[in-house]
Structure 1
């Protein structure tokens, strides 16, 4: 039955392959987005923007809260702190 199923589904192989690739790209993007090292670097850049007067205190607080939420999710999700290559 497995061979027949594979033959019937063969025309859909490119679609299944594309779905797998999209899933892998999404997973990698989320891993980088929530990586604690990435978030900490963004927090540093945000502080530099505040000190340079590029953003005001209100904007800083709003964006800092978003970044701290991302950091919390990254740490709770089992992501290891590091150089952006945590799995």
Structure 2
């Protein structure tokens, strides 16, 4: 009895997904156009994550230990 109810709940929640394009809420507008552009950017462009905000991870593994270079900014704590 609980399994069908849980399945029905999961299917109902899965059906709640947004299928239409994003639009600003009623009474609001998209941000103004960037300097030098005449038209505003669409919501899809504004939602793209810049590369610097989410860089790709480097998975390069070290094969052997390496000596560190001397760091002139690695100073002992002040007393």
State the TM-score, normalizing by the size of structure 1: 0.29
State the TM-score, normalizing by the size of structure 2: 0.31
Q: Which has the higher helix share?
A: 1
